[in-house]
Structures are given as structure tokens and as C-alpha cells.
Structure 1
């Protein structure tokens, strides 16, 4: 069963394609999203190269980090559906330590934020997928949760979605998504800032076409209109930029990131990993150093086996949408869940069906036109 595909957007100029909306009062924060597409990149690299890396399993296995989310969440979760489909929560984090401190800005205090979240639904047969991006600025009711160290945190109302991760880590983020959607997450995958940049460089860059010039000093990005082979640093700037596109919101940035993911997937398929063992090893080494998984995927054998089952999913078979939201009238820097339309998304995924186009019609978009992959 295949998901419906969505036209890829293009990158707008400073004023966007549809003008700018009025922002709420107060100073905007600098962009801190750095890895919204990195986890999908890592998954793509590993899944396409997995079958050739048997001789380095031991080395790569030592690179992986995993968290026991199932133990932290216990049994109070949505029912697991055994119909051949899978749901994966993909997070991008900006841990404020080491290399990530320079890339993300701020103090080297070891703290971490989740600045990206995508629900990846892989349909039965593993030939297609739907990807639902959750805006970090969505105001939600966060459930009480327990982290993987056993520490507990009380529920909170009207907080930003990305506060779940900064409060209770991966387990709290998963529980919040399951509470929001009523869908059980079968797996968890996380990638950081520095890992994303290195992955793109290991691939030799990713080719994208900007429909108009884009310049954003905050994300260190200056691209004229046209086709570009982005380096890791440029790609990181692209997926982080918000002030140079659309209305300057996280929603516009999500559109860019979704289009970049499609370009990235096609680039991974074109680099000939199966025929170049050194490229395969270098990419797998970088990918496994960059990701944190749930404990079920916490070994190279498990990760490779799982990822190998996804390798038939090309960019054309990925339907990418943003969770239906509307701007918060009280603060236009925040968004609120459009519950009626979001229910259409969750109902479709629970039934392993394509997301209907009506689910995203009339919702907030960010007014960005995105990236067009050649």
C-alpha cells in the first residue's frame, strides 16, 4: 500500500512567496534546530549500505548508543499493531557539549534540546512511508513521564512540544508523542548537530536547487538562486534557517527540511555504497557514531537488519506533511494543534492508510516554498 506523494516546495527569498504574517510581541530566539533531517540521513546511509558492512560490525557496534525506552514507559502505552507497518519517532537534538556547542550556540553546559521531531510511518510491505513533522513550537499538554534513569516528572499544560525532551529525555518525548497521537512508537532514532554535518560531507554533499536567493546570517547561509552542491556546513545552515524564508516561523523551516530530506535520500542512492567498501565504511562509521536508538535497535546487527527492510523507500514514495496546526492568536510565535484535522492524520496512520489531502488543507504553513531537488 503506497502513500500519496506531495509536490516538493522551493526556497523563497527574504519576503517569502506569499508575504509575511505579523509576529507576536517579543524577541525571537536564534534558530536552534540543527538536526531535523539528520536522523533520516543516518537511517538512509545505514539502510543502503548495511549488507556490505559485515566485516566491521564489531567496530561499528561500539559506536552505537541506545536507551531502554520500553522499560521507562512500562505498559501504559497505545496497543502495538502487528500489521507489518512500523512507526518510528525520529528526533534531532542539539546537545550543548563538545562539537555541538559550536554548532548550536550557547554554553557548553551538557544540556540538550529536541529541535526536531518526525513520526515516520512505514507502510505494510515497506515500500512507502509517510513522515509527519511536529513543530517544536506547538503548545501541548505534556503527560507525566519517567526518564530512563527512573526520575519522574509531573504533567504540564500549555508547554512547548520540545520541552518534553529537555524535561525527561527520549522516554518523555516518546510518551508525549504517543499521548498526542494515540499511536505506539515502535522505534526511536536520534541524531545530533555535528553528526548531521559530517554525514553530508561523507556523502560528498547534497545537490539542491534554490528557487530564489537566500541569506540568513544567523544560520551562516548565503546562497544565490540556482543549483548547489551543499557541504555539510551549508546543509546544516539550510535546515536551521528560519529568518530568511517565509514568515520566519518554524513551519517554513520544516518545509525546507522535508524537501531537503528527499534530495538527501536520492543522493544516498546515487553514491554507489555497494561498490565502494571505503565509502561504505566511512559513512557507516560516521552514522553509527551520530545516532542514539531504542534498545531494540541498539546493535549493528539489529540496526542493519531493520534498516535493510527500508531500502525500497525512495524519495518519490515518501509523503511528507506537517502536523496540522494553527497560529496561536495570543502569540503568533507559537502554534496550536488543529485537533480535527490532526485526527484525520492519526486515524489514517493507525489504519495503515495514506494521509488524506484534506488533513492539511487550510492549516498554518509558514509560507515558505522550500527546496527543489533536481
Structure 2
């Protein structure tokens, strides 16, 4: 970053956003004296979108930062002798603001990245009450969800990003299509999924049904979690740091994030680390009957915390792209 007046204005704008929880585009527009400009983001993994993405998953970076990306990139690389471990919660939401995907992206000091999926129906404790994980977001917002995820995993959430899952289509198009593989042909009226068996490249309108389908799959939502992981793995394998500006352009309107996240630096560290692990927290009974919320997925917090602790030392998956349900 430069030390000119523009940088200070940007910093002041983000500080104001954190204090008043308003749209960052409106703050920047007021500071710079012009109409709001489009914000830019990248879906990770998600989330993930979750889709990620998912990611994805996914992060938003104001255009004023993107315009100085080369200089920011050089300074980030020169100033960083060791990567700062960072935990980013990425939440993928549908048109009704329900969470389709919940992903914790953990960047370790050695550059390895763990993309950890948490099933949305996990039965967890939040503010002293047992509830489904996706209901925490609906009732308590992103801060409540971040606290619940931190308690469950033992990994405090440093930053968060909320991704509109329609970003999946834009991401797939931006990378020239995403290769996936299905064990068998499948179709589903709820998600709009209609796919043949075997390897295929999906993009555009086919991408979202692929990561959203759960009806008609042997393991329901758990299979949807695996779909997202495979989609993100395939998409991110095609991305380089040099391609970031184009991807930021592609999915920017679909994301909001906390103002404290250095998205450019974080994404550079993730991509340059080159070691990504995709995993789902261990679960128990997937048809656990709750007192008031119907069936949920049983999880053991102690088991989940140990799993999250051990994951960075677990060898990443090897071989080619796996076929999934």
C-alpha cells in the first residue's frame, strides 16, 4: 500500500463501515465524492460457495484496491517473512438468505490451507441453546454463526465472508468451465440438476444446480457438501495469482465481508501455498431427532476439535479428480 491521502481515506472509510455496519460502497462513494462503484470479490472454498463458493471460497475487494494490486502484491510479498495463520468463515446463502454452505478456511503458518465443510444441519450449541448451525445464522447473524463455529471447531474465526451462491455460475465461466465427475446420471426438479454420468465440464447455469443438489443423492446434504468441495478443488486448480483481477471482476456483486480482512493478501497466500486440503467435520447420527427442529446431524464437539487440530498434518488427497454422487 502507498502512504498517500487516498490510502488514508480508504482506511477511514473501512473504519466507518465497521462502526456503523453500512455498505462499503456507500462509504467509499461518500469519501471519494462520486456514485457508488461496483465491489469486487472472489469465491474460495467455499463454501466455502460455497459455495463457496464456495469457495469458495469468496471475498470482496473494493475497486480502489484492485487498481493498485501490482504494488500491493509486491509489498505484501516483501513484508511477509512468515504467513500469519488465519481462519476465515465463508457462508454461502440462497435467495432467501438461508445458508446452503458453511465453510471454514484455515491458512496455516506453513502455507497449507484447510477448507473445512460444516454441514448446515449440524446440531450445535449457540448462546447456551442447542440448534441447527444454519439456524444460528438466521437468528443471530454472521457474528453469532462465527462464535458458534469457533466454539464447535476450537478455531476462533478471524474474518468472515458471506457469498450469494449465484456467484458459482460466474466463477465457473470466469475460469473457462469446471471439470467434474459423477458416478451416475442424476436429475432433480428442486435444484434443476440434470447431468450425465462420468467426466464433464460445467459452466454457466449448470454450475449452481451441481453444487446445490441434495434431493435424490444417497447421502443428501452430505453429498452436496462433497459436490461443493470437488467443484472448488477443480476451479481453484485453474487459478493463478496473475488471474485474480479477472476473477475479482467476475463475481464481485455476490459477496460481502468484514472490513478487517486483507482479502488480496489472504488469497495470495492461499494460492501461493499450493497445498489445499478439503474435508468435512466428523459427524454421528445423520437423522438425529431434535425436540423442536426435526431431524439434524449429530456432532461431537470434542471429536470435531481434534479433527480440526490434526487436519493440517494430514496428507492432502492425491490423484486426479474423484467421481462423486
What's the TM-score, normalizing by structure 2? Answer: 0.68
- Residue aligning to 1:306: 266
Partner of 2:149: 177
Q: Residues of 1 paired with 2:123 and 2:57: CA distance? A: 29
Report runs of 4+ in structure 1 exceeding 6 Å deviation. none
Q: Residue 270 of structure 2 aligns to a residue in which SS?
A: coil
Runs of 5+ unmatched residues, structure 1? 1-32, 58-81, 97-111, 144-154, 358-369
Residue segments in structure 2 that go unaligned for 5+ positions in a row: 1-47, 71-81
Matches within 5 A, 1:2-17: none
Instruction: For residue 296 of structure 1, give the secondary structure of its aligned residue in structure 2.
Output: coil
Residue in 1 aligned with 2:42? none
Pairwise CA RMSD of aligned residues?
3.3
Cα-to-partner distance string for 1:296-335 (whole Å, 9 max, x where unaligned): 12xxxx3222322222244xx2222211111144379421
Identify the structure with bigger relative contact order (alpha carbons < 8 Å, sequence gap 6+): 1
Once the two structures are TM-superposed, the CA of residue 238 in structure 1 deviates from its matched residue by: 0.9
Q: Report the equivalent of 2:251.
A: 287
Alpha-carbon shift at residue 137 of structure 1 (Å): 0.8
C-alpha distance in structure 2 between counterparts of 1:194 and 1:123, whole Å: 29
Residue 183 to residue 280, structure 1, CA distance change in 2 (3 Å): closer
How big is each residue's C-alpha offset from its partner over 1:83-134, in whole Å with a ceiling of 9 and x where there is no partner?
A: 83221111111243xxxxxxxxxxxxxxx222211111112132x2122211
Aligned length: 256
* 1:267 and 2:226 aligned: no
Q: Match of 2:223?
A: 252
**TM-score, with normalisation over the residues of structure 1?**
0.60
Q: Deviations over 1:18-49 (max 9, x none)?
A: xxxxxxxxxxxxxxx97432142454998xxx
Q: Is the 8 A contact 1:259 1:371 kept in 2?
A: yes
Alignment counterpart, residue 241 of structure 1, candidates 196, 204, 213:
213
Distance 1:89 1:229, change over 3 A: same
1:354 lines up with 2:313 in the alignment: yes
Partner of 1:199 in structure 2? 171
Label 1:212 to 1:226 Cα distance change in 2 as closer, same or farther (>3 A).
Answer: same
**Structure 1 residues 206 and 347, CA, compared in 2 at 3 Å: closer, same or farther?**
closer
**What's the CA shift for 1:201?**
2.0
Task: Output the CA distance in 2 between the equivalents of 1:309 and 1:229.
Answer: 28
